[in-house]
Amino acid sequence: MRKSLEEVAVRKLFLVFAALGFVAAAQVLNIGIFEDLTTTNIWAQIGPDATVWNTYVLGGQHGSLYGSVAPTWTWLPSLADGFPSDFVEEDGKWVATVKIRQGITWTDGTPLTADDVVFTFNVLLTEVGEYRMALALGGNWPSYCPDTLLAVEKVDDYTVKFVYAEEPGLGEWTFGALTCPIVQKAYWEPKFQAALQTDDPAASLLAVVPEGEPILGGYQLVRWEPGAFAQVDKNPTYYATGESLTLYEGGGAVIENPRLGYYFEAYGGATGPVLHKLVEGPYVDSIIYPIYLNQDAAVLALQKGEIAMFLNPLGLAKGFEDRLKATPGVTIISNPPWGFRYLAFNMRREPMSYKAFRVAVATLIDREYVAESVFQGIITPMYSAVPESNPFWHNPDVVVYGKGLTHAQRVEEAVRILKEAGFSWDAEPKVVNPGTRNEAVVGVLPDGTEVPAPKGFKLPDGRYCPEIELLAPSAGYDPLRATFALYIEQWMKELAIPVKANLTGFNVIVNKVWAPEGFDFDMYILGWSLGNPAFPDYLYYFWHSSQDVPDGFNTPGYRNPEFDALAEAFLKAKSVEEARPLVFRMQEILAEDVPYVILFDTPIKEAYRADEIEFPYTEVLGGIQFVWPLTTVKALK
């Protein structure tokens, strides 16, 4: 059945290529993906539908004033003309101005102006019920509109003024508001005004299906066949085509756009030898994203030359790597990950609401056993909320429950933790014959009688524990997380905890975790790509209590006043040196409280056809998939 679906998709793609004249004329890249789009709406894409698959296809269509540029993650102007002004105090408020580059046009031919920037922020600042629209939209939007931002005002057609209640920190300004995607006022204002007339303005705005929306980026979505493929075409009006960015070993950068007459030097300009020279395209006419059911099908397509590459936040599975090494024309690269795969608890429900329960589960999970004995070293156990691949921000000294214990010791420790918190059993777990081939977990009745297995796990109030569902991706999507889920189920069941692993589709999990009526899950396993490595503000947005709202990123419902205070101070920090110790302490608290159990990640190995596609660089944190889409990529055929 799967084979038939993939064949249908390929035939449909060929007909599309032929109809558009791509087979003989235009330059086309075919890039495989593994999940469908869930939206084409920018408010949803950045908000509750902020999946990596949407980003692969739709990312970059809406520019921002500033951004951190890979592979060095240098913070530079994008739509802005130079750096922002310094903040000054005016009437008890803090203000700064940003100039907008002139000559940038939307795809409908109209110029980008201050009106578009002001409108974008006015949407986010609008009060809807008890929240600002930014928080009601959820996802990434709150990070662009911090609570201290009071207004964004037009000074003239190409200058905007930002007004804050207090002088903002890096997370509220440099890596916050200034990186916000900008939408066109003329297109979105009538839709926004219509949404405001409904009972739920945020939901109404998220539900808009845009047609003919003007964009600024290098590629624009032109076709989407749900379940089969998506297609983006080159934007002929892209303002940055031909623009060069030269990055120097000394940390300097030079931006030059001869077509617009724009030149800007940053951080000392030409300081030392050239590290990278990136010249913007796009160099291909279209990118087609066929959807594959699994890596096996995508690897076969890569071997046949039907796709130039496939994108996957999980990287290339070991077995497929061995197959592709022998394929002529295929190159394999490896980069450190910038993300993690994790187990999340819904702390709004029992027994996940009990810290002792979460600590006990964390104690049972033997990452090292799964990494070494099950997966033969192809995964790397992880323990902290900031990966080791970012050593400046990573705290290596967080508590790790159960680390170094044998399986028998883990069971005994988990039982001790649960009993001390008031949990009980009809037949309490006990390890017999520890350390031998006959090791087992039996149950002990109140009178001391041993029975074959523990039973009757009870909450501290004496009620039996309800059935717990553990959501995780299927083996076809990610065998690593599927396997972890089954082991976690097994280890929990050894203690008579009534858990059932439900291995299902990625979008099925997303739709339950971020359900319209609220967070509808008990426990789940997913993964995160973590955004800007230069400033890990996800620590705030994943776990600050203010983000425990529908469509917010605080899926566990974690609330800790000490953590909140640290996270707020982190966003307000004026330097990375000030922010670093705050990040270290935040990691310690998260490891102690266990809203997540950080499980593992893998080196990001990626395969591509070097005879079909050329990249400006291949060494980058998180891999090529993390910085995709690239307007500097070239097709060789």
Give me the domains of the chain, ranges plus CATH numbers.
1-55+217-239+280-335+604-637 (3.40.190.10), 62-208 (3.90.76.10), 242-279 (no CATH), 339-409+465-601 (3.10.105.10)
The pLDDT assigned to 11 comes to 31
464-496 pLDDT, tens digit each:
999 999 999 999 899 999 999 999 999 999 999
Q: Which residue has the tokens 């059935």?
A: 467
Q: Which of 247, 309, 314 is nearest to 284 (CA)?
A: 309
Query: Residues, the chain, total?
Result: 637
HEC-encoded secondary structure of 126-190: CEECCEEHHHHHCCCHHHHCCCCEEEEEEEECCEEEEEECCCCCCCCCCCCHHHCECCCHHHHHH
Confidence of residue 25 (pLDDT cuts 50, 70, 90): low
Q: In the prediction, which pLDDT does 256 show?
A: 97
Lookup: tokens for 158: 């190409």
- The single-letter code of the amino acid at 406 is T
Which residues partner with 342 through β-bridges? 526, 598
Judge whether residue 6 has pLDDT over 50.
no
Cα–Cα dist 400/197, whole Å: 50
pLDDT tens profile 392-451: 999 999 999 999 999 999 999 999 999 999 999 999 999 999 999 999 999 999 999 999
Distance CA 311, CA 288 (A): 12
Give yes or no for residue 19 having a pLDDT over 80.
Answer: no
The pairing of beta strand 450-451 with beta strand 499-504: unpaired
> What are the pLDDT digits (tens) for 439-465?
999 999 999 999 999 999 999 999 999
Is the confidence at residue 14, as pLDDT, over 70? no
| Whether the Cβ atoms of residue 232 and residue 26 lie closer than 8 Å to each other | no
Q: Count each helix (H run) and each strand (E run) in the chain, helices first.
A: 19, 31
In DSSP notation, 81-132 reads SSPPPPPEEETTEEEEEEEB-TT-B-TTSPBP-HHHHHHHHHHHH-EETTEE
Closest CA to 473 of 512, 526, 530, 528: 526
**pLDDT tens digits, residue range 261-297?**
999 999 999 989 999 999 999 999 999 999 999 999 9
DSSP class per residue in 251-274: S-EEEEETTTTEEEEETTSS-SSE
3 state SS of 309: strand
* 20 pLDDT more than 70: no
Q: What is the pTM of this model?
A: 0.87
Q: Where are the alpha helices (DSSP H) in 366-478?
A: 367-369, 407-420
Q: Can you tell me the distance from the alpha carbon of 489 to that of 470, in angstroms, rounded to the nearest whole number?
A: 8
Query: How far is 67 from 76, CA to CA, in rounded Å?
Result: 6
**Mean model confidence pLDDT for the chain:** 93
CB 76 within 8 Å of CB 95: no
Omega before 629 within 30 of 0, i.e. cis? yes
What are the angstrom distances between the C-alpha of 43 and each of 39, 86, 122, 182, 207? 9, 30, 14, 11, 9
Alpha carbons 425 and 454: distance in angstroms, whole number = 7
